[in-house]
Amino acid sequence: MIDLNGRIALVTGASKGIGGAVAEALAAAGAHVVLTARDTKKLEAVEERIFAAGGAATIAPVDLTDADSIARLANALAGRWPVLDVLVHGAAVLPELTAVKDIDQTALTRALTVNLLATQALIARFDLLLRQAVDPRFIYLTTSVATAPRAYWGAYAASKAAAETLVDCYAQETRNISALKVAIVDPGATRTDMRARAYPGEDPASVKEPAVVAERIVAMLGEQLDSPHRERVNHS
């Protein structure tokens, strides 16, 4: 297992699912993990599991629809640590699956705010802290529908496709002037609440657990990657 002792990692969407599993895996590898999401109680539950396993974590409840909250989070981290070694951006919202002509504008606006605008805000606020690290990594969790759109997934696919393009551009802008490595990771079919809402008739046991994705992401931190690096986590 990679040794992340002394490293600082920030995980968005860390209250459950893939984000929570990634946070626990990073802590198990030795990183001090900053857990962020909206639900304080669920963040505390993840933090308690990390503590019980001998790891280190700090919770930082943040609503990603509020750009000022992201700025305050960045300022708080910068006030405590001189660098940010790893940022795993897994937070996202899934609007109702519906035909494009029937998309609710309010739901679409929220999806664009969380999935796209918050991604840019995180990059803007944490770029400096990341680039001050020795081997910084920015890992963005995407979805297959961002590059292979499907009927009724228009609102989610459009918001994630735009964010993925933004992250790809960021990787190209930084790869020749810094040590930062950017990875765009499609976790594939994974047992999460979001997956259950999208596929209500699916047997959860038929898809892999979030820990599988978390294990791959932590392993990726020890690998030499091109930037942007792209991959899909397929195995179960």
Q: For residue 3, which phi and psi values (nearest 5 degrees)?
A: -95, 115
Q: Is the pLDDT of residue 143 over 90?
A: yes
Instruction: Please determine, for residue 62, whether its predicted confidence score (pLDDT) is greater than 70.
Output: yes
Quote the CA–CA distance of 199 and 179 in Å, as a whole number: 39
* pLDDT of residue 169 exceeding 60: yes
Give mean pLDDT, residues 164-187: 97
Res. 176: pLDDT tops 90:
yes
Residue 15 in this model has a pLDDT that exceeds 60: yes
Domain boundaries, the chain: 8-232
Residue keyed to tokens 């990059």: 123
Mean of per-residue pLDDT scores for the chain: 97
First and final C-alpha spacing in the chain:
19
Fold of 8-232: Rossmann fold (3.40.50)
Contact 7, 36 (CB under 8 A): no
Q: How confident is the model at residue 235 (pLDDT cuts 50, 70, 90)?
A: confident
Question: What is the percent of the chain where pLDDT is above 90?
Answer: 98
pLDDT at 227 over 80: yes
The yes-or-no verdict on residue 203 having pLDDT over 70 is yes
Active-site residue list: 156
pLDDT value at residue 113: 98
Q: How many other CB atoms are there within 10 angstroms of residue 108's CB atom?
A: 18
Using pLDDT thresholds of 50, 70 and 90, give the confidence band for residue 197: very high
Average pLDDT over residues 109-121: 98
Given the DSSP bridges, would you call strands 8-12 and 56-59 parallel, antiparallel or unpaired? unpaired
- pLDDT tier for residue 236 given thresholds of 50, 70 and 90: low
Mark 128-149 as b/e (b = at least 16 C-beta within 10 Å): ebbebbeebbbbbbbbbbbeee
